[in-house]
Structure 1
C-alpha cells in the first residue's frame, strides 16, 4: 500500500471513529459542564455565611444586598474561577503528555515538570522577597527548563514514551534532592514560605495573583486546537502520522512546550497540585468512550475534579481549611495504586 492509500485509509478511519463517538463525547462533555456549574454554585454559596442558589445568582448579577455581592463576587468567585481554570489547564496538560507518551502514567507530576516548577519558585523565594510575580516567573522558567532537560536526555533519534517517563522520574528525583537541600539551607522565613507554596493551595487566591497564570493558560489553550488533529494522528504511531503529513519531531516539541507551560502556569498561581493531570484524561476518556485522549473532556474533567477537591479542602475540617494539594494527593494516591495494579495485569 502506497503513502497516498495509507493516508486516505487513515483519514477515513479517523473520520469514522469521530462520527461513531461524537454523541458519547458530546453527552460526556455536557455532563461534566453541568457538574462544573453545579459545584460552582455550591462553592459560591458555602462558607461561614451560607447562601441559597437564588441569592448567589442575584449576587452574580449585582441584584443582591451589597454585603452579599461582596462576599460572592470578591471573596468566593475568584477562588471558584481559578479552580476551574487551573483544573482545566491541568486536565489538558495531562492529556497532552499521556497522548505523547501513549501511557496513562505520562503525567506532568509523574515525569517531573511540577518538581522543576517548584525548583524555580524555590530559588525565587530564596533570592528575592518572595513576591507573587517573581515566584510565577521562577515556576514557569523552572518547569520549562526541567521539560527541556528531560526532552534532550530522552532523545534518541526521536522520543519514545516509556523512555521519556523514566528519564522524567530520574530528573524529578534529582530535583527533589536539590529542593530539599535548598530548604535546609534557607532562612526560616523562606523555608516556611516554600513549604506553604509546595502544599498547593487556593487559599487566599485573588484575581491579581492569578492574572499572570491566566494569561499564560489562555495563550496555551488558544494554540492547543492547532495541534489537536496532529496529536490524534500521533496516537496512531509515528509511521502513520508521518504518512499523513505530520512532522512528528516538531509536533512533539511544540506540544511539550504547551503542556509544560500549562503545568508551570498552574504551579505559579497555586503551587504544584498533583494527580489532577494524571487522573483527568483517563477518567474523561472512559466517560466519553473515546479512542484517544479527548482534550475538551479532559479540560472539563480537570476543572470539575479540582473544584470538587477544593470544596472538600475548605469544608472537611471547617473552620480550618486544608491546602487543596493535600486532598488531590490523598485521592490521587489511591487512583495511582489502582492504575499501577491495572497496568501490571496487562504485562
Structure 2
C-alpha cells in the first residue's frame, strides 16, 4: 500500500507513505544541521557544552547559543519553510516548475520599498526621521511585498485568473521593479546603499528572537489553511474546463491559495530579505523525492528549511572569519538547478 486514506468530518485526504518518509527524513536532516549550527562558529562548542549552554543561563556559552546561533538558525529554517511552501503553491497553480514568489512581485516589491526607505532616510536601519525610521526594515519589506503582489494580481486578472497570464505579467512587473531598485541604489549614498545591498542579497546575520516570532506565527496560521486547500490544488493542475466540471470554484480557490502564498513569502522576505532560489528549487526537489504529481506542501516546506539552514551553515563557517549572506550561497546552489529545469523544459 503506497497511501492511506484520512477523513476529518467532510474533508478527506490520501496520505502517501513515500511522502511521509521523505518528510520524516528531512526533519532528521534538519535537526542534524541545527545541531551543527549550534556547535560550529568562531567559538566552537562540543555537544555537552551546547546542552549546558542551552539550559544553564549562567554558562559561559549561553549567550552564544541562545542569543546568537539558535535565533539565527530558527529564523533560517522557518524562512526557508515559508518560501518553499509559497513556491509549491505558486508552481501548482501556474502549472510551471519555473514559477516562484519572485514572479508575483513579492521579493522585488519588498526590495524596492526598502531601498527607497534607505535612500530617503539616509540610514539602512533608521536614525533619522522618515518612513524607514518610523516603520523599520521588516515592516517596509512586508508592505512592499504585499503591494508588489497586488499590482501583479490586478494586472493579471481578466474575468478570472489564468496561471500562464500570471507568470507573464509577473515577469514584466518584476523587470520594472528590478530596474527601479537599481536606479534607487545608483542615486543613493554609497554607504547607505552598501548596507541595503546586504539585505537585498538575503542575510541572516544579526537575526534575533524578534525575527523568529513573525515567521513562526505566519506558519502556524497558514500551514493548516494551505493543507485544507490541498484538494483544490490537486484539481487546479488540470485544465480549467475539467476543474469546473469537478465542482471546484476555480477563481476563488486560486485567489485564496495565492493570497496564502503571498503572505508566506512576504513575511519570510521581511524577516531575512529576498533569499534567492529557495522557493524555486525546494518544491521541485520535494517533487522528485516523493514522486508525486505536483509539489507536495509539507515535504516542500521541510526541503526549504533544510536548504536554507544548510546554506547558512556554509555561509557562516566555510569562509570564516568572513560571513557571506545566505542568499549568495543559495544562488550559487540554485542557479545550476534553474539551468537544469530550463534544459528539461526545452527537451
- For the aligned pair, the TM-score class normalised by the smaller chain equals 0.7 to 0.9
2:78 matches 1:85: yes
Identify the residue that residue 42 of structure 1 maps to in structure 2: 36
| Equivalent pair of 1:284/1:298 in contact (CA under 8 Å) | yes
> In 1, distance between residues paired with 2:135 and 2:70?
22
* Per-residue deviation, residues 213-259 of structure 1 (Å, max 9, x unmatched): 44444433343223222222212333333333321111111111211
> In 1, distance between residues paired with 2:183 and 2:146?
21
> In 1, distance between residues paired with 2:97 and 2:79?
20
Identify the residue that residue 18 of structure 1 maps to in structure 2: 14
Identify the residue that residue 56 of structure 1 maps to in structure 2: 50
> How many residues are paired up?
329
Identify the residue that residue 328 of structure 1 maps to in structure 2: 330
**Per the alignment, in what secondary structure is the counterpart of residue 50 of structure 1?**
coil
Identify the residue that residue 6 of structure 2 maps to in structure 1: none
The structure 1 residue matched to 2:26, chosen from 32, 45, 48, is 32
Identify the residue that residue 7 of structure 1 maps to in structure 2: none
> In 2, distance between residues paired with 1:217 and 1:105?
23
> In 2, distance between residues paired with 1:96 and 1:182?
32
The structure 1 residue matched to 2:248, chosen from 246, 254, 260, is 246
**Per the alignment, in what secondary structure is the counterpart of residue 18 of structure 1?**
strand
Shift of 1:53: 2.5
**When you count helix as a share of all residues, which structure comes out higher?**
1
Could you list the runs of 4 or more consecutive aligned residues of structure 1 that deviate by over 4 angstroms after TM superposition?
Answer: none
> In 2, distance between residues paired with 1:199 and 1:28?
30
* Per-residue deviation, residues 289-331 of structure 1 (Å, max 9, x unmatched): 2122211000000000000000010111111100001101111
Shift of 1:261: 1.4
Change (3 A) 1:44 1:335: same
Q: What's the TM-score once normalised by structure 1's chain length?
A: 0.88
* Per-residue deviation, residues 178-200 of structure 1 (Å, max 9, x unmatched): 11122222233432232121111
| Equivalent pair of 2:38/2:50 in contact (CA under 8 Å) | yes
| Equivalent pair of 1:109/1:275 in contact (CA under 8 Å) | no
| Equivalent pair of 2:53/2:60 in contact (CA under 8 Å) | no
Q: In the TM superposition, what are the counterparts of 1:264-283 in structure 2 within 5 Å? A: 264-283=266-285
Identify the residue that residue 309 of structure 1 maps to in structure 2: 311
Identify the residue that residue 164 of structure 1 maps to in structure 2: 166
Shift of 1:148: 1.9
2:288 matches 1:292: no
Q: In the TM superposition, what are the counterparts of 1:94-243 in structure 2 within 5 Å? A: 94-128=87-121, 129=126, 130-131=132-133, 133-243=135-245
Q: CA RMSD in A?
A: 2.3
**Per the alignment, in what secondary structure is the counterpart of residue 90 of structure 2?**
helix
Any unmatched runs of 5+ in structure 1? 1-14
Any unmatched runs of 5+ in structure 2? 1-10, 127-131
Shift of 1:111: 4.5
> In 1, distance between residues paired with 2:57 and 2:271?
30
* Per-residue deviation, residues 90-146 of structure 1 (Å, max 9, x unmatched): 110100100110110111124432111111222232344345952222212221222
